[in-house]
Structure 1
Amino acid sequence: MSSSPRSLHDWPELFTRMCSSTVSAGMHCVTFQPTPGTPNQDRFVAQEWDLDGRRWKFLAVLDGTNMVFPFPLEDIDKIEGLKKNCTGSLSDTRGGPEKRYTKRVQEILSCQIYYFDKGIGDAIEELCPDSSLLDDEQARNLVNTTKNVFQRALFAGLGDSTVGLAYTSPEGYGNGERLLTLHSTHTPLEYFTIVMRHPTTEKTTIIQDECLLDIALPT
């Protein structure tokens, strides 16, 4: 580990302070890995979309949780599917108020993310309707024979994964919205499960910014 007195939260600000540009070079990402010699287990995507003649920035960060799943985010068909669904579902808002148009884009994306997440949970329930009926050996055999499903679940369904949408109004004002509230303090069953597994003294450690910083099974 570094001997620097600075914390991990200081580095993004220091990095930004050292950067300057007079032109826009498009969307780019920088990732910080605090442990030397350990590959970054997170996956992230940052794309700029042109929806109906307007510019949007789609941002997603997905936690890796002690594993690196070789699944490049930029190749996920669902990302392009989100974009196409937005473009094809905005006809009823054209020419209307800017606020209504923006809210419609957020609703479409949030709905698509919800059903993508639900599909992961449904796939696991189909393989194992009641995990309490399995002993340790049966559970290990199930995971080992269906790794593809369970790895995708870990990759895409964790509480500290974040999806956001940023946009600029015709007047030049920027704004942004968080699109993913699944597997967070907004999910009562998972919130209760995580809280009951830890003493109250650890509450600020396991819950930050409405994110559950622990592993919970998809609900």
Structure 2
Amino acid sequence: MQSPTEHQRKTTDMGWPEEEALWWYTPLSEPLLSSELARLADARTHGDTDSVTFQPCPNPEEASQDRFVIADWSLTGGNWAFRAVFDGHAGHETADYAAAALPGVVRDALVRVLDAAPAVEPDAAAVEAALLNAIADFDASLGEGVHALFPEAGALTDMDEAAVHAVVAANGPAAKAAVLRAMRGSTALIALSDPTRANLWVASLGDCAAVLGTRPEGGEWSAELLSFAHNGENPVEASRVRAAHPGEPECMLNDRVLGVIAVTRALGDFTFKLPPVYTDRVFVPVGEAGPDMAAKLAVCSSRNHTTPYMSGVPQTIHVAPRSHGAHEALLIMCSDGLGDLSPHRLDVSEVLAPQWVRAAERGEPGNRALAVLRDALGGDDLEKVSRSLTVEMTSRWMDDTTVLVQRLF
């Protein structure tokens, strides 16, 4: 793209007039706008699934912590489809590790279910249980990596920083990696579908979203939310955390666990799952927490009385897309950045889910995930979309956003 001339640039407050600041941006016309969005979002098609993953801020320190996995497994009965979105926070380590290792854990669990009854249709409840347990066990293994180094919380109390570093160093680079992926965190959204696509299983930890779009022959598209918002803005989740910690008013504060983190379920985040001595003596020094992070971790420790405060156990759901006469079906999976682009971010089920399904279908026969992203950024409003792509800021102006759209049938 050629450098814009000075008169082409405009200023915007990015919708934040309270900031009393203006930033430069460059309006783009078509077809340049569409090609730039596709490039920045790394729009791709993988068989039956379209993908985008988008963080337009060019500052390397703001690189996206979203990850996704698209895998097809040739197993008993045919081709099983695994799709996953991971939204990392506080660092890349947990999301990177989950994207690399968790698919294999789920696959092994699924193979055990299929091997137990190879001649019959897979038991939906057994597959759902295997998916839940595989994810929960994977999260527990992250904490076990820290326990293997420091099995006794009481002994940690008497260890100074040098002694902690010595233990980690003695166990090699893998030890520090184990600490970091337990300390950092990631949401997880996983979908599994059988060879006939008659069954779909979804497991969620955190605030990603999964939406099933279905259409009967000759009819209109409908949308069904298949995921659960595990964050402090969900009163059910907030009540669950409070009920587990009676007499601790700060267990949920300002819609955040211990007043610090928005999600109530996630992979990693063992600051919220282990006694505070692990944060003070292990995570802060080994994780090389900067001043801001160290201050947040200190707040966590001061309010941490009866761990765990965060869960690594997902919620799961099984649906049969063909059971209600669906002629066509698609699955939309996204990190929470997609919802954050809308003023209706808290109304995913009634407002955003149908909007995303309509946008995906308007994107046919091109990249449907790109169509969903474009719609969320402003659709046909070229100025609005241009601002999101070209605004000249060094800090990120939108959350990391990943979208997968899978055509089930």
2:177 aligned with 1:151? yes
In structure 1, the residue matched to 2:52 is: 30
2:157 aligned with 1:132? yes
Question: Do 2:82 and 2:192's aligned partners in 1 also have CA atoms closer than 8 Å?
Answer: yes
The 2-side partners of 1:57 and 1:4 are apart by 37
The 1-side partners of 2:59 and 2:94 are apart by 18
Q: 2:191 aligns with which of 153, 157, 165?
A: 165
2:84 aligned with 1:59? yes
Quote how far apart the aligned CAs of 1:41 are. 3.4
The 2-side partners of 1:52 and 1:214 are apart by 32
> In the superposition, relative to structure 1, how do residues 75 and 97 fare at CA in structure 2: closer, same or farther (>3 Å)?
closer
Any residues of structure 2 matched to 1:87-98 within 5 Å, and which? 87-93=111-117
Gaps of 5+ in 2: 1-11, 17-36, 39-44, 207-229, 232-236, 275-409
The 1-side partners of 2:268 and 2:141 are apart by 22
* Residue identity in the other structure for 2:174: N
> In the superposition, relative to structure 1, how do residues 53 and 116 fare at CA in structure 2: closer, same or farther (>3 Å)?
same
Quote how far apart the aligned CAs of 1:157 are. 7.0
In structure 1, the residue matched to 2:70 is: 46
* Residue identity in the other structure for 2:68: F
Question: Do 1:57 and 1:167's aligned partners in 2 also have CA atoms closer than 8 Å?
Answer: yes
In structure 2, the residue matched to 1:20 is: none
Question: Do 1:166 and 1:175's aligned partners in 2 also have CA atoms closer than 8 Å?
Answer: yes
Q: 2:254 aligns with which of 201, 214, 219?
A: 201
* Residue identity in the other structure for 1:206: I
The 2-side partners of 1:79 and 1:136 are apart by 36
The 1-side partners of 2:110 and 2:168 are apart by 35
* Residue identity in the other structure for 2:270: A
Q: 1:118 aligns with which of 136, 140, 162?
A: 140
The 2-side partners of 1:212 and 1:96 are apart by 34
TM-score (norm 1): 0.59
In structure 2, the residue matched to 1:216 is: 270
* Residue identity in the other structure for 1:177: V
SS of the equivalent of 2:55 reads coil
The 1-side partners of 2:106 and 2:267 are apart by 27
Question: Do 1:124 and 1:150's aligned partners in 2 also have CA atoms closer than 8 Å?
Answer: no
* Residue identity in the other structure for 1:162: A
> In the superposition, relative to structure 1, how do residues 84 and 136 fare at CA in structure 2: closer, same or farther (>3 Å)?
closer
Cα RMSD (Å) of the superposition? 4.8
Aligned-residue identity in percent: 16
> In the superposition, relative to structure 1, how do residues 123 and 161 fare at CA in structure 2: closer, same or farther (>3 Å)?
same
> In the superposition, relative to structure 1, how do residues 206 and 212 fare at CA in structure 2: closer, same or farther (>3 Å)?
farther
Quote how far apart the aligned CAs of 1:162 are. 0.7
> In the superposition, relative to structure 1, how do residues 174 and 150 fare at CA in structure 2: closer, same or farther (>3 Å)?
same
Quote how far apart the aligned CAs of 1:165 are. 1.9
* Residue identity in the other structure for 2:52: V
Cα offsets for 1:143-173 (capped at 9, x unmatched): 4555423423533675542141242685x66
The 2-side partners of 1:121 and 1:97 are apart by 36
* Residue identity in the other structure for 2:55: Q
2:130 aligned with 1:105? no
> In the superposition, relative to structure 1, how do residues 152 and 122 fare at CA in structure 2: closer, same or farther (>3 Å)?
closer
The 1-side partners of 2:249 and 2:54 are apart by 28
In structure 2, the residue matched to 1:9 is: none
Q: 1:83 aligns with which of 93, 97, 107?
A: 107
The 2-side partners of 1:216 and 1:26 are apart by 36
Quote how far apart the aligned CAs of 1:110 are. 2.5
The 1-side partners of 2:161 and 2:130 are apart by 41
TM-score (norm 2): 0.36
> In the superposition, relative to structure 1, how do residues 196 and 215 fare at CA in structure 2: closer, same or farther (>3 Å)?
farther
Question: Do 1:65 and 1:154's aligned partners in 2 also have CA atoms closer than 8 Å?
Answer: no
Question: Do 2:132 and 2:203's aligned partners in 1 also have CA atoms closer than 8 Å?
Answer: no
Quote how far apart the aligned CAs of 1:83 are. 1.6
- How many aligned residue pairs are there? 197
Bigger relative CO (Cα 8 Å, ≥ 6 apart): 2
> In the superposition, relative to structure 1, how do residues 49 and 188 fare at CA in structure 2: closer, same or farther (>3 Å)?
farther
